[in-house]
Structure 1
Amino acid sequence: MPNQRAVPTLRRRRLGEALRKYRNAAGMSLGAAAAALGWDESKMSRIETAKARLSPGSVAPLLALYGVTDSTVVEPLEALARDAGKQGWWQGYGDVVSSGYRDHLTLESDAESTRIYSPDLVPGLLQTTGYAREIIAATAITRPPEQVAALAEIRKARQAILTARPGGSPLTFWAVIHEAVLHQRFVGHPNVMREQLRNLLDMGELPNITIQIMPLTATPHPGMMGLFEIVRFPRPWPTVVSLENIRGGYFVEGTDDVAVFETAFDRVVATALSVDDSRELIETTMKDRT
């Protein structure tokens, strides 16, 4: 059966989780909800666990059963059902893109805004190809050279969402970067960092991008615990926090946990240099590279 072969993509998982949340809020059991629609209980279970497809036309009747008729909830869920199996542009890179990275790219493409504190690297959405290649080669230690090149291409292609997106506005992006990052050096490639600093200045001129620098002289702040990224979506989707380490990334969800990171980011922003002072520091550092 086609529904049994559905791939549990991130969008399909988010749809299933939302439907399960509304069913539980309505106080309905899985069996009762399935019976009301004339479905088999196993079908309902597979939909909620992202193992079966749900047609967009079935979303509104299912939500109405749970007492949810608000168009600002129904329409996004219908859109998610429509796009649940859609493959992103990164599918052409095959196994080079891990499942976790695919999830990150999907979240990024669906988001309306992202806020990131990056203590050790220029954020991926602001990296030049040369900088990305050097960083990936140094950190993706299990990847062969051809995959390093492919991942650098992917990182550059991601940046299209900062200038245009089909059917939507560009991503709003706010990055706080530690000053130490501006002083990185790459043996044998002296121009990489200068080009990267120039790119930060250019990208910072876009109206949807905010760049601040955390100075070396900063007082203690929550960002000292490491990189974190807050990804916000249009209603009704909850905000997600992305965390990374050398083995990849993982996501934090839940109102209380996300609120902690949002407060942390506000404090990071308050500690960092202003946008104008940050730009001046980047310009000064770039001139020192000549």
Structure 2
Amino acid sequence: MPNVRAKPTLRRRRLGGALKGFRGKAGLTIEAAAMKMGWDNGKLSRIENAKAHVWPREIAPLLKVYGVEDPAIVTALEELARNAGRQGWWQTYGDVISGVYQDYMFLESDAAGIRVYCPSLIHGLLQTIGYARGVISATAITRSPDEVAALAEVRQARQAVLTRPGNPLKVWAVIHEAALRQQFPAQPSVMPAQLQRLLDLSEMTNVDIQVMPLDASPHPGLNGPFDIVSFSGPWPTVVNLENLRGGFFMEGDDVAVFEAAFDRTVAAALPVDVSRETIKKIMEGTQQ
């Protein structure tokens, strides 16, 4: 059966990249690897470039050619091959969310843990619907009211990863105190509800929230917000950076810099228990 041309989804790109990496470590050319598998060169090239399907049953034999027989790696790549073409629920919002944002949600849905530093906004995974609408309408300056509402719905739906059965996403968030003191004059109930949401989330075993106080010592987070997304199995950690025009991902050696930056940022923040008390005091001050 000829290999079917496939849309280069993020999962398919990650799978192709992993297979290419293992081939490289084995010191094999595409021609040599394809010959060992009984494939034509074009099929393997298309798989590595995320332009063709690879069947789950083909993963173990291909990895064996590369000298990789670790059951954990084989299982992880078979699972990714099985789900590479699966559509995410967010693709029904494809007319209002960018391709990069969709890719980020694929990463988020596959992730084991996310570490985030939030200097000015509360992270999307922790937002109430009211807060989401308020900040999106203020920051997404080119969006219509209907698009703002749709984007807020997306942020709410993303939060299902926090309570998914068996393997809820682990979130470690450092939020600057300034973000907790944000005001919505036209909707004074927004921030009390948002702060209560943070307190509720902080009681979950898979969520840690720390507050960066206004009088904190200088720390690497002063350079801006970032997300560090980590995975189970053989998948490399990814850093997500955002700005007014969207976001972009970083992998490889750059990740270690952000991991070290997060550790130093955490050290400058309040401990988890003190952070909870700080959020409570700020909430009491915002209630009318």
Name the TM tier (shorter chain). Answer: over 0.9
* Aligned 1:151-162 pairs, distance under 5 A: 151-162=151-162
2:261 corresponds to 1:269? no
Q: 2:60 — aligned with what?
A: 60
When the two chains are superposed, the root-mean-square deviation of aligned CA atoms in Å is 1.2
Q: What is the aligned counterpart of 1:199 among 197, 200, 208? A: 197
Structure 1 position 32, deviation (Å): 1.1
2:130 matched residue in structure 1: 130
Name the amino acid aligned to 1:223: G
Residue from 234, 237, 259 that aligns with 1:236:
234
Q: Which residue of 1 aligns with 2:115?
A: 115
Matched residue of 2:196: which SS? helix
How far did 1:208 drift?
A: 0.6
Q: CA deviation at 1:94?
A: 2.6
Residue 285 of structure 2, aligned match among 279, 285, 288: 288
Name the structure 1 match of 2:41: 41
Partner of 2:207: 209
CA shift digits 1:174-232 (9 cap, x unpaired): 00000001111113111111110111111111111000000000000000000011111
Asked if structure 2 preserves the Cα contact closer than 8 Å seen for 1:3 and 1:52, the reply is yes
- Number of positions where the alignment pairs a residue of Structure 1 with one of Structure 2: 287
1:241–1:258 Cα contact (<8 Å) kept = yes
Any residues of structure 2 matched to 1:126-205 within 5 Å, and which?
Answer: 126-165=126-165, 168-205=166-203
Check whether the contact 1:221–1:268 (CA below 8 A) recurs between aligned residues. Answer: yes
Q: 2: distance between equivalents of 1:93 and 1:257?
A: 31
Deviations 1:159-183 (A, max 9, x none): 1111124xx4100100000000111
Match of 2:144, as an amino acid?
Answer: P
Quick one: distance in 2 between partners of 1:151 and 1:247? 15
CA distance, structure 2, for counterparts of residue 197 and residue 241 of structure 1: 27
Whichever residue aligns with residue 156 of structure 2, its letter is K
| Residue of structure 1 equivalent to 2:6 | 6
Residues 2 and 201 of structure 1, relative CA distance in 2, 3 Å threshold: farther
Q: How far apart are the structure 1 equivalents of 2:159 and 2:34?
A: 42
Task: Give distance in 2, aligned partners of 1:263 and 1:10.
Answer: 26
Distance in 2, matches of 1:66 and 1:275, equals: 45
Q: CA contact under 8 A between 1:239 and 1:253: conserved in structure 2?
A: yes
Q: SS state of the match for residue 95, structure 1?
A: coil
Structure 2: stretches of 5+ with no match in the other structure: none
For residues 260 and 223 of structure 1, what CA distance do their matches in structure 2 show?
A: 12
Stretch moving more, 2-11 or 131-140:
2-11
* Cα offset, 1:36, TM superposition: 1.5
Instruction: Give the secondary structure class of the aligned counterpart of 2:209.
Output: strand
Contact 1:3 1:51 in 2 (8 A): no
Distance 2:158 2:44 in 1: 35
Question: How many angstroms apart in 2 are the aligned matches of 1:266 and 1:25?
Answer: 31
Query: After TM superposition, which residue ranges in structure 1, 4 or more long, deviate above 6 angstroms?
Result: none
Which amino acid is 1:79 matched to?
E
SS in structure 1 of the partner of residue 258 of structure 2: helix
Q: Quick one: which amino acid aligns to residue 173 of structure 1?
A: V
How many angstroms apart in 2 are the aligned matches of 1:264 and 1:2? 48
Cα deviation, residue 3, structure 1: 4.2
2 CA distance for matches of 1:182 and 1:19? 44
**Aligned-partner SS, 1:259:** helix
Aligned to 1:50: 50
For 1:118-171, what per-residue CA distance to the aligned partner results, in whole angstroms no more than 9, with x for missing partners?
001001000000000111111112221111101100100111111124xx4100
Letter paired with 2:187:
H
**Structure 1: unaligned runs, 5 residues or longer:** none
Cα distance in 1 for residues equivalent to 2:189 and 2:53: 50
Residues 71-129 of structure 1 show CA distances to partners (whole Å, capped at 9, x for unaligned) of 01111000000000001111222322211011100000000011000001001000000
CA separation of 1:2 and 1:206: change in aligned 2, threshold 3 A = farther
Deviates more, 1:182-191 or 1:225-234: 182-191
Report sequence identity in percent: 61
Aligned runs of 1:223-262 on 2, under 5 Å?
223-254=221-252, 256-262=253-259
d(CA) in 2 for partners of 1:3 and 1:203? 46
